[in-house]
Amino acid sequence: MVRVAGSSTTVAPSEVAPRGLPGKRTAIMRAATRIFITAGYERANLDTIAAEAGVSKQTIYNHFGDKERLFVAVVDEARTGADRDTELDESLLTDPAALEQDLLRLGRQFLAATLDPEVSALRRLIIAEVSHHPQLHRSCGADEPQSGPKLLGWLIQRVAVLTAQGVLSADRPDRAAAHFVSQLTYEGQQRSKYGTLALASWEIDEICADATDLFLRAYRVAPAQGRTKSRR
């Protein structure tokens, strides 16, 4: 056993530099997620998290620094985890004739990631705690849309390609993609009361149809416009 400098905590030698041990980090993240969601940010205790994860409190400090950074890591992992679990169909948004149907399918995937139960619970926690801990809003990047880098990045790339092909007209593909995602996110959260109510299939279809309609009205190049451009 060794004593950590500047601390009265005594830990095993294997825990002095645990950054190379992903099992400990995973255990901490899982325990922290459960405790943050059930107890709230204010009442969550690093001693309790350490006990549930089967590690020392110093190990948590070594991995994350403090409770705020641990909470930020938990939020980020929940968001990216839901994103990673989404299987992208690379054939979507490649056929201009199927653009509307593809956007509807993509919308359902975005909603599934946005309304993931764990992500929703943590989002509600941020909202509940932000008045007492304003730094959480800044630290967690709580501004919408937050739908995952894989999905959003892929959509931006597809919008750029379709714009280059003359199917869409989006000078800022990132902004166009954000408009689509923001519409889905806002409606999904409002109707589900931030993930506390399960949406019926018809509600999901309606949200996706509205977002798709708005997107296409704003960015799809009308056939007449396409013919006019080709004659120039």
Task: Let me know whether 107 and 219 are in one domain.
Answer: yes
Task: Let me know whether 186 and 102 are in one domain.
Answer: yes
Task: Let me know whether 46 and 136 are in one domain.
Answer: no
Residue 159 has what pLDDT?
Answer: 97
Expressed as residue numbers, the domain containing 140 is: 88-231
Task: Let me know whether 45 and 115 are in one domain.
Answer: no
Tokens representing residue 146 in the block: 């937050």
Q: How far apart are CA 132 and CA 166, in angstroms?
A: 49
Task: Let me know whether 61 and 92 are in one domain.
Answer: no
Evaluate whether residue 83 is within a structural domain. Answer: no
Q: Look at residues 27, 50, 65 and tell me which one is the last residue of a structural domain.
A: 65
Evaluate whether residue 17 is within a structural domain. Answer: yes
Task: Let me know whether 147 and 218 are in one domain.
Answer: yes
Task: Let me know whether 14 and 117 are in one domain.
Answer: no
Residue 87 has what pLDDT?
Answer: 72
- The CATH code of the domain that includes 164 is 1.10.357.10
Evaluate whether residue 189 is within a structural domain. Answer: yes
Task: Let me know whether 92 and 59 are in one domain.
Answer: no
Task: Let me know whether 94 and 37 are in one domain.
Answer: no
Residue 121 has what pLDDT?
Answer: 81
Evaluate whether residue 72 is within a structural domain. Answer: no
Q: How far apart are CA 207 and CA 218, in angstroms?
A: 17
Give the number of domains in the chain.
2
Evaluate whether residue 78 is within a structural domain. Answer: no
Evaluate whether residue 131 is within a structural domain. Answer: yes
Residue 22 has what pLDDT?
Answer: 64
Tokens representing residue 13 in the block: 């030698």
Contacts of 140 (CB under 8 A, 6+ apart): 71, 72, 75, 76, 126
Task: Let me know whether 188 and 130 are in one domain.
Answer: yes
Evaluate whether residue 158 is within a structural domain. Answer: yes
Report helix angle 46-53 to 67-84, nearest 10: 50
Residue 230 has what pLDDT?
Answer: 38
Evaluate whether residue 169 is within a structural domain. Answer: yes
- The CATH code of the domain that includes 15 is 1.10.10.60
pLDDT in tens, the chain (232 residues): 333 333 333 333 333 333 344 689 999 999 999 999 889 888 899 999 999 999 999 999 999 999 988 988 888 887 777 666 667 788 999 999 999 999 999 999 888 888 888 888 888 888 777 777 776 666 555 444 344 567 888 999 999 999 999 999 999 999 999 999 999 999 999 998 888 889 999 999 999 999 999 999 999 998 765 444 433 3
Task: Let me know whether 22 and 115 are in one domain.
Answer: no
Task: Let me know whether 20 and 125 are in one domain.
Answer: no
Residue 229 has what pLDDT?
Answer: 44
Residue 68 has what pLDDT?
Answer: 87
Question: Would you say 216 and 194 are in contact if contact means Cβ atoms under 8 Å apart?
Answer: no
